[in-house]
């Protein structure tokens, strides 16, 4: 049975008021006590709250109409369940989206209004309400944690995301279930192959070619591993999580005070020389118009700072992030005998909504196999 939303009674001195705007549309879900509309008085703007949980079935008075008497019915709420949100553990290989992004209908009216007034982007923010609904407390907590207002501080670290947006790093963080997997990769064979290729380039006086770095090899290995592990090669699209076409890898680089993340959309098809040339172009500030489009995985390299291990945070729109630590000489035991080897520590962070641990483990195993047996990286 429908329950009426009544115009508040403002007392004997004010028998009527004007409905300034509706915060919901017909068909929207609302919880009891949440504001559904605003009324304007000479002294203030007041909320009209939902008398029960359900669906706004009918709007009787449109916003901006004539003065409405207190106690008049302005809308109807029908009982109904909260909107169903799809599972975040998708079957793999499917061509259909399996999860919708955080849209306007997954946030309460108070949360949407607060976010709009603060200039805060709700995309990527997970809610604590029923079925993951974003409520006002979630937005307030995020704004306080981010130190965010409508005017972003110029000292705030910025990230340029694959779609070209510039946003504070904290706003780009994907607050989602995340899993970290670690591995140690022996890179002696890789370093020998890399030195051989660079020496050959120097011997032929091919001055146009950029020396191949360890990072270039990591890009190629990750792209090939993604290509060989379809369950982990998942893209976050406007329609949700979908199997990616091609293995796009983005590089986290510092440029002009920003952390930029240019992507190589089909890195699995590029040679080591081509990847090295693209990296050099990025560092020189030469960005192609489409270099911030694409990429399912991001590489964060902190090895140059002497960091042994890094546990990165997955940020939308990427579904995995590979963190690189410093390579170092270590004692390893193989077949019962100890020896010295050069070891690179890596950590793979995944968005658990995009893939499960077995898919991530297969991706990391494929990556490690290519790093330790680098012949597979050659053209």
pLDDT tens sequence across 227-280: 999 999 999 887 888 999 889 999 988 766 667 888 898 899 999 999 999 898
Tokens of 96: 């259909």
Highest mean pLDDT among 91-105, 123-137, 213-227, 295-309: 213-227
Tell me which DSSP letter residue 315 carries.
B
Q: Which of 321, 252, 322 is nearest to 292 (CA)?
A: 252
Residues 178-377, CATH architecture: 2-Layer Sandwich (3.30)
Q: Which of 346, 193, 218 is nearest to 276 (CA)?
A: 218
CA distances from 58 to 81, 82, 218 (A): 17, 17, 57
Tell me which DSSP letter residue 329 carries.
E
Percent of the chain with pLDDT over 90: 33
List the beta bridge partners of residue 18: 40
Q: What is the structure's pLDDT at 104? A: 40
Tokens of 296: 């399912």
- Domain map of the chain by residue range? 3-78, 92-151, 178-377
Q: What is the structure's pLDDT at 179? A: 94
Average pLDDT score over residue span 313-330: 91
Q: Which of 289, 296, 292 is nearest to 237 (CA)?
A: 296
Q: Are 242 and 234 in contact (CB under 8 A)?
A: yes
- Would you tell me how many other CB atoms lie within 10 Å of the CB of residue 214? 17
Q: Are 321 and 347 in contact (CB under 8 A)?
A: no
Could you tell me how far CA 51 lies from the centroid of its own chain? 36
Look up the CATH number of domain 92-151.
4.10.320.10
Residue 164: which pLDDT band, with cuts at 50, 70 and 90? very low
Tokens of 205: 């006086």
Residues 3-78, CATH architecture: Beta Barrel (2.40)
List the beta bridge partners of residue 349: 180, 321
H or E segment and range at residue 215: helix 214-228
- Would you tell me how many other CB atoms lie within 10 Å of the CB of residue 80? 14
Average pLDDT score over residue span 295-301: 92
pTM: 0.57
């Amino acid at each position: 049975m429908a329950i009426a939303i009544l115009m508040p009674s403002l007392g004997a001195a004010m028998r009527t008021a004007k409905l300034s705007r509706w915060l919901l549309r017909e068909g929207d879900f609302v919880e009891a006590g949440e504001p559904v509309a605003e009324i304007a008085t000479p002294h203030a703007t007041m909320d009209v709250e939902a008398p029960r949980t359900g669906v706004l079935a009918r709007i009787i008075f449109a916003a901006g109409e004539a003065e409405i008497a207190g106690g008049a019915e302005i809308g109807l709420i029908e009982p109904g369940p909260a909107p169903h949100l799809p599972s975040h553990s998708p079957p793999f290989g499917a061509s259909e989206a399996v999860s919708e992004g955080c849209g306007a209908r997954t946030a309460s009216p108070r949360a949407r209004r607060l976010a709009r007034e603060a200039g805060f982007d709700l995309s990527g923010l997970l809610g604590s309400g029923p079925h993951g609904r974003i409520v006002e407390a979630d937005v307030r907590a995020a704004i306080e944690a981010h130190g965010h207002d409508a005017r972003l501080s110029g000292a705030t670290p910025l990230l340029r995301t694959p779609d070209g947006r510039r946003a504070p790093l904290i706003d780009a963080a994907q607050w989602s279930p995340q899993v970290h997997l670690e591995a140690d990769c022996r890179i002696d064979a890789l370093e020998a192959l890399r030195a051989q290729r660079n020496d050959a380039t120097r011997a032929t006086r091919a001055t146009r070619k950029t020396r191949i770095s360890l990072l270039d090899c990591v890009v190629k290995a990750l792209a090939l591993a993604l290509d060989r592990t379809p369950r982990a090669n998942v893209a976050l699209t406007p329609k949700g999580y979908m199997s990616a076409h091609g293995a796009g890898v983005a590089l986290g680089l510092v440029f002009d005070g920003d952390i930029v993340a240019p992507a190589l959309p089909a890195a699995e098809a590029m040679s080591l020389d081509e990847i090295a040339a693209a990296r050099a172009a990025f560092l020189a500030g030469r960005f192609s118009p489409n270099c911030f489009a694409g990429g399912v995985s991001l590489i964060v390299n902190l090895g140059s700072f002497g960091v042994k291990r890094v546990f990165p945070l997955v940020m939308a729109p990427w579904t995995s992030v590979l963190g690189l630590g410093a390579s170092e000489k270590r004692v390893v035991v193989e077949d019962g005998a100890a020896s010295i080897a050069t070891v690179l520590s890596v950590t793979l962070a995944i968005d658990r909504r995009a893939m499960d641990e077995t898919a991530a483990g297969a991706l990391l195993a494929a990556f490690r196999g290519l790093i330790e047996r680098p012949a597979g990286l050659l053209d």
